[in-house]
Structure 1
């Protein structure tokens, strides 16, 4: 026992005197009353901050008029939560009609847009948050758009997929969603100047990267082409990557000023605006790395190590995925899920990459995938002494014969027969992504970004080994 423990123990063993006992009772009573008063005050503050006003926003505002009108709070799932790094720490208050009315004058922010399929968009937002870290800015994250499932499907907020409060806590920094800054139903058009990265790094399209998000957010953007020196591999037409620090330089006054060229005219208000200094924005941040192209494939990736691994799933989404795994494996809803190997086989949209090679020869056979599963099982046993016998596979394959062969291997798969009807078009891919990340080990499809990021998650969250199955020619994964 250490000396301090002994000292306190000795004091506690002395019987209290009657006077001390009465004094202690009075102290406890006073402290209890004070605690009740403070608690009521905090509750009042919380209710006043999160209550929903009844004032309705106008459908549109004429240009030039005041746009600081009070608006309703967002829906319940977007309610502002009082937390150390929550919106209240870096915004004036509830979402406003114009985003500028909600920004604090002494805080700098950063944002960007997406347009490349859901997994690639996740990677883009990882890059955005990492760029925010190294430029000391607050990231404002837009929604996910349905570029992989069809434009008729509504976007889904970032916070309905990822646990934003947990992300803030793990980063130790504020992270905002656009719905927390500007009211989702606002039709007020904000003018904004942004950097045009896309035109500086590729030679096919003479315009900024297109995305529906600025329209969704009612933004009228005037783009300034970024300098050509941001390109990672100069004059190389087959790669579009830039480095984090080349973009970060544009966030600081000296390089920003030296890099200004005449901006493009904004499409709605016909403005010519330089890149905004308070809300720094770039048109596209998917092709960004620290050292080499596509480095999220590698375990050293700083964007993954300092941001991606902290982007855990929204708890409700994770709970939903758990129920799919339990039903697939055949365990009761209240029973623990046994450890399993997760698999992602990507086929459908990779067919065009096969060229003249027949599909049956192009895609890896199940025997090759099974061999990789065996390797992962063996590695888990050697490192952790754990036998993992369950295998859960996710895939976009539609061939019934192929799925019958999967079943013959004794593998399980989530049943998405009613998923869209019950939860919406987003949820088959979201549930599959959660399941892939839960494996004690993971086997994926080479060149698939969904497999790449699933491998990173299983590695970071489950300490799980992974393998990527090669494909494209007969015997591509033979080894």
Structure 2
């Protein structure tokens, strides 16, 4: 070529579609004027390749360094050199540690809020000891002596380790003093429920003023804060309830908060510990209706529910002093104290007789006991405001604590009416317990049939948080409380059993009288709808349907139980179904409810007490405290017909 340049021929396209360069080239020498440009292009390409390679190598090194640090648990990120520096041994001289940088992990995929798993609480640092399978609570405290669990409903329980029972002094220190707890802790006092505010602003302001006035009135009824009253429970469950009523009346008169012992073990139920009253009763509604502030000992001092063998003989080594004024002779000497409440809460009775008590703790007059306790109720500076003593404890206000050994024996002209009208009528069973009785009636009577009269529905009581639902509808029924057992053994010497206790035949006659009255009333109602053209309404084909009869009793004698069976009464049986050697269920004259096995020994008598209030007709025994309470409850709460024989 004339110009000496390389000729670039255009690409030729083959028939198959691919493009290849032509092999025809000029033999002219290469021009040196284009060589630098070509070399520069090649050098740029090499630099780019090297830059990319170096970049990939740096990224790889960073990735390896990060992976080693993350997997090894290092809390700071950085290059491989920094990691190597962290792994070097520390210098001989102490240096200021660098600030800790949190580990940066890969972000988790974003999940909608409703699908995110809940965050599990952190595990305790101390490895907990093996616990029984029944313990389902979260461990909130674990010491050498005690593990404390908290449950979903907010309650707490303590499990005492063997070390607790081997060192009485350390155990007492671990538990602390109930007086110190009362002196330093603030307790909520329930108020009467507010009215729902609505309407105009003026109406709301007026309702607010009414609510404020209501709170002021209720404050006068409630106990003064930081002042408490308690007692020792005595006797069986129903006698303990009588003590509770009189103690609550005393707390009201003394303007103190009642500290309620649990239902104490007794000659009928022999266990180490008793349950809270709130397990069966609605204490919140009680406070709101009666104006009597209540605490339970479980809220103040948690102690073991199950103890090792032999601990009953040494429990006083772990106990703190329990100052209390004797009453009715109970507590004048230690030998007359037969309650199990003190054992459960590790309280050692200490007799404190007021100077004004000239009877030395033997009086049973309610007014006298109240006046003696009122003598030293002057309000002084609260204990929480007193400077700690040398040993770190808080000085106790001597007026903060009052106790009476046995309010059961207190009497007077108006005590019994007041205890029911101001206390007992407001202490209702809680909704859970009532629902369990509905379950029993479902088994024994079945659901109500349309058109038949049903038992009276439970009234709505309490605030919105403690509202009782109406009972499930069941057929009307008669219930009998047949007190036997220990009553038979208490008959006076020389008196026959027939003259001592009410016989089943006499109760059957009383039920016949009830049915005659019912039949007469039913016929009167039927005559109002009679017509001459309706022979059925004339009574010729009228059939009176008798009510089912339920019986709760502690009778064990076979001949007496056979009488009940022949009368076709329904006997409440909380026992278990029995099976023969082949595994077949043995025939039984009763429907086995299995209550005690499923719920424990405290439920059979408590559910019987609720059932007695549900009967449209109740026949009780005049010599039974349980019958007396049942007649009061059934008549006041449900307007049922009740009688004592």
TM-score in terms of structure 1 length: 0.65
How many Å separate the matches in 2 of 1:109 and 1:137?
5
How many Å separate the matches in 1 of 2:407 and 2:153?
27
Counterpart selection for 1:405 from 556, 563, 569: 563
Q: Which moved more, 1:335-344 or 1:192-201?
A: 192-201
Equivalent residue for 1:420? 596
Equivalent residue for 2:179? 100
Counterpart selection for 1:435 from 611, 619, 624: 611
Equivalent residue for 1:324? 440
Deviations 1:300-330, CA, capped at 9 Å, x for gaps? x110111111111132222222222221224
Deviations 1:56-85, CA, capped at 9 Å, x for gaps? 35638xxxxxxxxxx9576566739xxxxx
How many Å separate the matches in 1 of 2:360 and 2:618?
35
How many Å separate the matches in 1 of 2:554 and 2:302?
36
Query: Which residues of 2 match residues 72-471 of structure 1 at below 5 A?
Result: 72=148, 79=155, 97-103=176-182, 106-152=225-271, 154-185=273-304, 189-199=319-329, 209-225=337-353, 227-228=357-358, 242-253=364-375, 277-291=399-413, 296=416, 301-331=417-447, 336-354=473-491, 355-359=493-497, 362-375=500-513, 389-418=547-576, 419-469=595-645
Measured after TM superposition, the shift of residue 369 of structure 1 is: 0.8
TM-score in terms of structure 2 length: 0.50
Instruction: Report SS of the residue matched to 1:401.
Output: helix
Work out whether residues 74 and 183 of structure 1, in 8 Å CA contact, stay in contact via their aligned partners in 2.
no
How many Å separate the matches in 2 of 1:393 and 1:278?
47
Deviations 1:91-114, CA, capped at 9 Å, x for gaps? xxxxx8432343257521100111
Work out whether residues 551 and 571 of structure 2, in 8 Å CA contact, stay in contact via their aligned partners in 1.
yes
Measured after TM superposition, the shift of residue 137 of structure 1 is: 0.5
RMSD: 3.8
Q: Which has the higher contact order (CA 8 A, sep 6+)?
A: 1
Deviations 1:357-377, CA, capped at 9 Å, x for gaps? 444564322221123334556
How many Å separate the matches in 1 of 2:565 and 2:573?
13
Q: Which moved more, 1:398-407 or 1:105-114?
A: 398-407
Query: Which residues of 2 match residues 29-48 of structure 1 at below 5 A?
Result: none
How many Å separate the matches in 2 of 1:175 and 1:377?
44
> When the two structures are aligned, how many residues end up with a matched partner?
362
Structure 1 portions without partners, runs of 5+: 1-50, 61-70, 81-95, 232-239, 257-273, 470-479
Instruction: Report SS of the residue matched to 1:214.
Output: helix
Work out whether residues 249 and 255 of structure 1, in 8 Å CA contact, stay in contact via their aligned partners in 2.
no
Structure 2 portions without partners, runs of 5+: 1-136, 157-174, 185-224, 306-314, 379-395, 450-470, 526-544, 577-594
Measured after TM superposition, the shift of residue 428 of structure 1 is: 1.7
Measured after TM superposition, the shift of residue 165 of structure 1 is: 1.8
For residues 343 and 180 of structure 1, do their structure 2 counterparts lie closer, same or farther at Cα, with a shift above 3 Å needed?
A: same
Deviations 1:114-166, CA, capped at 9 Å, x for gaps? 12111101111111111111111100101112203343354122111212122
Q: Determine if the alignment matches structure 1 residue 54 to structure 2 residue 54.
A: no
Work out whether residues 266 and 339 of structure 2, in 8 Å CA contact, stay in contact via their aligned partners in 1.
no
Equivalent residue for 1:266? none
For residues 153 and 440 of structure 1, do their structure 2 counterparts lie closer, same or farther at Cα, with a shift above 3 Å needed?
A: farther
Deviations 1:338-380, CA, capped at 9 Å, x for gaps? 2222210111101122333444564322221123334556778
Measured after TM superposition, the shift of residue 242 of structure 1 is: 2.1
Work out whether residues 138 and 176 of structure 1, in 8 Å CA contact, stay in contact via their aligned partners in 2.
yes
Instruction: Report SS of the residue matched to 2:235.
Output: coil
Work out whether residues 110 and 280 of structure 1, in 8 Å CA contact, stay in contact via their aligned partners in 2.
yes
Measured after TM superposition, the shift of residue 52 of structure 1 is: 6.7
Measured after TM superposition, the shift of residue 253 of structure 1 is: 3.3
